[in-house]
Structure 1
Amino acid sequence: MRTDESLRTAEAVRDAERWTPRNYHPLPVVIAEAKGAWVTDVDGRRYLDCLAGYSALNFGHRHPQLIAAAHAQLDRLTLTSRAFGHDMFADFCRELTELCGKDLVLPMNTGAEAVETGIKVARKWGYQVKGVPADQASIVVAEGNFHGRTTTIVGFSTDPDARDDFGPYTPGFRIVPYGDLAAIEAAIDDTTVAVLIEPIQGEQGVVVPPAGYLAGVRRVCTARNVLLLADEIQSGLGRTGETFACDHEGVVPDLYLLGKALGGGIVPVSAVVGDAAVLGVLRPGQHGSTFGGNPLACAVGTEVVRLLATGEFQRRSAELGARLHAGLRDLVGHGVLTVRGRGLWAGVDIDPALLTGRQACERLAERGVLVKDTHGSTIRLAPPLVVSAAELDHAVAQLGAVLQES
């Protein structure tokens, strides 16, 4: 651990604020080391990480199998660009398609890039396959969505912080209430090429739709010849107790949009996974990414897929998630209003008469537990899937203590 006096927490926080715009409002914790479910700050204090990089660290910090894969690849080859092939590409694509039950993978880097790719592919499919007139393609999205921060994506956000003052916005999107199947069906017409939806809305506060909603969306999309694009960037890859959140209702989308945990907490990796009838509309020169599918990303991503292929992490998420939710529900009526979520993912609404979400996060950090607030008095918990039962109990106990003191 680095011990230079200039890196003590207060100084490090002030330095970061000097050289960056205030587009984030982080907790006053400056992390220097991490392993598994724990991080250590520059002062040597340890914290239980119950955010896991918004699901980017599903397998914990520095998982040994993932670190070994990265080290081995760093010693051989890191980048070629897609102008050439490389020897890690085929394995990554084949194993990810097998995990998803699909034909093709288009690797990218970030979640927003995956969403943008899905939008482009859906529009091109609409024009070339469905026969939508040129430049008239429409996509149905949900209120409360969070799909990224590009100018196209924020244009159909309903969060003022994400959207305001970034216009003019890209047309072609129809916003309907989340969880309302009839509203989706009513919004679809002959120009509609896709429904883009999060199976669980993470940034909105881990909002789970009504039972049968996802299956209903799948039925409507199939009946109306519309693609279903599932943004599983936060909800996928073991987070909810299944490989994908869609699996809870037996739903298979036309395109999976993946990211975050696919990079193993080491490198940014995202992907769009679908069948040849959809992804196959792309031709050389029509879409790409310099770093998308690079050797280092493929080496790490392949190991992530192999970890998931065993089913171990999905089982851990389901079993430990039941324990987490039971513990959180015991706090309802004792400072907690409601608890939502699935697997190792929970949104907790704190009584606003006691604390804001930010205050709850600050007081939990003082007790050595890291979580993140969203939308007023809601906090989110997303511990890594390597967390232990005792560690979960500790996190819930600390939240209970914070509420009792308030």
Structure 2
Amino acid sequence: MTATADAINVASTLPEQRRILKTAIPGPESVAREAERRANVTDGLGVTLPIFVEQMAGGIIVDVDGNQLVDLASGIAVTSVGSSHPRVVAAVQEQVAKFTHTCFMVTEYDGYVQVARRLNELTPGDFDKRTLLVSTGAEAVENAIKIARTYTGRQAVVTFDHAYHGRTLLTMTMTAKHAPYKRGFGPYAPEIYRVPAADPYRWVGDEQNVAEEAFDRFAEVITTQLGADHVAAVIAEPVIGEGGFIVHAPGFLKRVQDFCRANGIVFIADEIQCGLGRTGDMFASTFEGTEPDLITTAKALGGGLPISAVTGRKEIMDSVPAGGLGGTYAGSPVACAAAVAALDVIVEEDLPRKAKAIEAIVLPRLQELKSTGIVGDVRGRGAMLALEFVRPGGKTPAPEFAGAIAKACHDQGVLVLVCGTFGNVIRLLPPLVIGEELLTDGVDVLASAVRAVAANPPSVSGKSR
């Protein structure tokens, strides 16, 4: 076995970590259960692939029809340590046997403190930190904004094009994409402003100076339109997630951070999707040379259980009076137990290194697909990689291609996700513990689907961008 294979090999609780198709996808039992779902669950949720899951482990999803699918989604970057990792399961079982709930604001427990201590140690920045635990990524972002506004005494919040920060009123307002996240849900929260992201692929300007031009626009908007002394916070995803796995042009975020510090603005990194080993370092902020004042985490933090956090400078975090932060389920004792175990796995098994090994295997395969003429860009870091699909000969987004390719993958038992502001990006988020053979099989299916769609493209419509 090669060193790379060894780097991403993991024992699994399943008999075999391989793709097995016993029925069509979805199978008859999933189809029957989907009918019951339609009769009982709101259609407002939507679904990517209507299969019902029986079991998951490592990089495999087993559905109720006995099919084994390759998981290249990780529950949207949640099960980075693999679904139902034995250490997470054991920690949860032990905690459930002790007690399932007591609000931390009423009576305290060690798990909350342990998670906070670990995040204070792991997040970027050699300064005194404090941590708040809540339940969801959107809740973490909302609290980060509340804390920044309290600390600065200011109201304005600056976000970036293509950003996704959540589905609550405030975070929905901060999210860039209209449909489906905002359509029909207005009016929106006030004092939220948007500036261009340093998107190297779609930058309208000098392609050799994306970081410089994007920063100049950012600074101009704040100084001339908002007033720097009115801005409480600037929030950025170091790798933009739902908006298309966009990696900012090198140097851009460092300049943004320096501008914030010079003007008393809190710089917040939203690492809910890209953090905790996903990009090949513990936090994606490290690649940019930034040390955010506040950083939000969720998804991979709980190993599958709902928990999120805001971690940051002590003087900022402690600016909120006692009682101003919290929630009944904030930092659930069961979720805290899972988070301690998940963090142990991420650190002790060096999952950031495994993310780099995944990149070494997958990225060259994705680059090869640019020769098909429908892949406009290949990008990402670590185990957070993406293909952007365009019409041949330009950069016009082709969401029809992405949709057709995703369906072809699903039909062959490989779960991939579509994302992007234009709905034309396929993102890969495999569990960081996935084995090389399974990973390669999944990418083989994806590559075949891309080539098949390139050879026989679906009909497209719309104007060029």
TM over 0.5: yes
Q: How far off its partner does 1:7 sit?
A: 7.9
Question: Are 2:409 and 1:364 aligned?
Answer: yes
1:86-109 deviation digits (Å, cap 9, x = unpaired): 132222221221112552110000
- Residues 99 and 305 of structure 1 are in contact (CA less than 8 Å); yes or no, is this contact kept in structure 2? no
> Could you say what secondary structure the match of 1:252 adopts?
coil
- Residues 218 and 253 of structure 1 are in contact (CA less than 8 Å); yes or no, is this contact kept in structure 2? yes
Q: Which residue of 2 aligns with 1:170?
A: 189
Of residues 188, 198, 215 in structure 2, which corresponds to 1:181? Answer: 215
Q: How far off its partner does 1:73 sit?
A: 0.8
Alignment of 1:117-266 (within 5 A): 117-127=143-153, 132=154, 137-161=155-179, 162-179=181-198, 180-188=214-222, 189-265=228-304
Of residues 87, 107, 115 in structure 2, which corresponds to 1:84? Answer: 107
- Residues 31 and 42 of structure 1 are in contact (CA less than 8 Å); yes or no, is this contact kept in structure 2? yes
Alignment of 1:329-344 (within 5 A): 329-334=367-372, 335-344=374-383
Q: Which residue of 2 aligns with 1:19?
A: 40
Of residues 283, 307, 310 in structure 2, which corresponds to 1:272? Answer: 310
1:15-37 deviation digits (Å, cap 9, x = unpaired): 21222222213223221111111
Q: Which residue of 2 aligns with 1:382?
A: 429
Of residues 67, 70, 81 in structure 2, which corresponds to 1:59? Answer: 81
> Could you say what secondary structure the match of 1:331 adopts?
helix
Q: Which residue of 2 aligns with 1:39?
A: 61
Question: Are 2:434 and 1:396 aligned?
Answer: no
- Residues 99 and 309 of structure 1 are in contact (CA less than 8 Å); yes or no, is this contact kept in structure 2? no
The separation in 1 between residues aligned to 2:404 and 2:54, in whole angstroms, is 24
Amino acid in structure 2 at the alignment position of 1:200: V
> Could you say what secondary structure the match of 1:155 adopts?
helix
The separation in 1 between residues aligned to 2:118 and 2:233, in whole angstroms, is 26
The separation in 2 between residues aligned to 1:320 and 1:26, in whole angstroms, is 24
Q: Which residue of 2 aligns with 1:304?
A: 342
Question: Are 2:94 and 1:94 aligned?
Answer: no
The separation in 2 between residues aligned to 1:195 and 1:383, in whole angstroms, is 30
Amino acid in structure 1 at the alignment position of 2:320: L
Greater mean alpha carbon deviation, residues 195-204 or residues 156-165: 156-165
> Could you say what secondary structure the match of 1:75 adopts?
helix
Amino acid in structure 2 at the alignment position of 1:183: R
> Could you say what secondary structure the match of 2:286 adopts?
helix
- Residues 140 and 184 of structure 1 are in contact (CA less than 8 Å); yes or no, is this contact kept in structure 2? no
Where in structure 2 are there 5+ consecutive unaligned residues? 1-13, 15-26, 199-213, 223-227, 393-397, 454-465
> Could you say what secondary structure the match of 1:286 adopts?
coil
The separation in 2 between residues aligned to 1:322 and 1:187, in whole angstroms, is 39
The separation in 1 between residues aligned to 2:299 and 2:141, in whole angstroms, is 13
The separation in 2 between residues aligned to 1:366 and 1:238, in whole angstroms, is 30
Q: How far off its partner does 1:350 sit?
A: 3.0
Q: How far off its partner does 1:351 sit?
A: 4.5
Identity across the alignment (%): 32
- Residues 356 and 376 of structure 1 are in contact (CA less than 8 Å); yes or no, is this contact kept in structure 2? no
Greater mean alpha carbon deviation, residues 341-350 or residues 85-94: 85-94
Q: How far off its partner does 1:191 sit?
A: 0.7
Q: Which residue of 1 aligns with 2:320?
A: 282
> Could you say what secondary structure the match of 1:330 adopts?
helix
> Could you say what secondary structure the match of 1:28 adopts?
coil
Distance 1:138 1:311, change over 3 A: farther
1:201-233 deviation digits (Å, cap 9, x = unpaired): 111111111011121111111111111100000
> Could you say what secondary structure the match of 1:61 adopts?
coil
Amino acid in structure 2 at the alignment position of 1:202: G
1:114-170 deviation digits (Å, cap 9, x = unpaired): 00001100110111xxxx4xxxx2111111110000111222333121122211211
The separation in 2 between residues aligned to 1:87 and 1:155, in whole angstroms, is 36
1:173-194 deviation digits (Å, cap 9, x = unpaired): 1110112222222233111111
RMSD of aligned residue pairs (Cα, Å): 1.8
- Residues 161 and 195 of structure 2 are in contact (CA less than 8 Å); yes or no, is this contact kept in structure 1? yes
Q: Which residue of 2 aligns with 1:116?
A: 142
The separation in 2 between residues aligned to 1:360 and 1:15, in whole angstroms, is 28
Q: How far off its partner does 1:340 sit?
A: 1.1
1:232-271 deviation digits (Å, cap 9, x = unpaired): 0000001000011101122110001110111101x10000
Q: How far off its partner does 1:356 sit?
A: 2.7
- Residues 55 and 261 of structure 1 are in contact (CA less than 8 Å); yes or no, is this contact kept in structure 2? yes
